[in-house]
Amino acid sequence: GAGVSQSPSNKVTEKGKDVELRCDPISGHTALYWYRQSLGQGLEFLIYFQGNSAPDKSGLPSDRFSAERTGGSVSTLTIQRTQQEDSAVYLCASNRGLASYEQYFGPGTRLTVT
């Protein structure tokens, strides 16, 4: 079946602009996760959704970052007033949640803030 998809694959934006990144999880996966991977670095947890609610948003680096999930499916990560330090690959992952552990990753969105 289809895997996790993300769009756009690449996004170049000017400092100060807002961006929206989209994640389509695997059908039936109730849990959805956003991570950030800076160049040559590890994966940094941002936020976790179970259904449409976010029980853990402890990784969001500032109030410029927000995320929502609707219909228990698609999620959007929004970064307002982008800064150069926001440049990274944003990865989304999903799994069945609760009783299931393995997370399946999407291809990521490479964000470049100029």
**Applying CB under 8 A, which residues contact other proteins?**
31, 33, 35, 41-45, 48, 50, 55-56, 59, 91, 95, 97-98, 101-108
Q: Which is nearer to other proteins, 64 or 105 (CB)?
A: 105
Q: Which is nearer to other proteins, 10 or 83 (CB)?
A: 10
Taking the complex as a whole, how short is the minimal distance between the CB of residue 101 and other proteins, in angstroms?
5
Q: Which is nearer to other proteins, 41 or 62 (CB)?
A: 41
Pairing, β 109-113 against β 10-13: parallel
Rounded to 5 degrees, φ, ψ at 85 are -70, -5
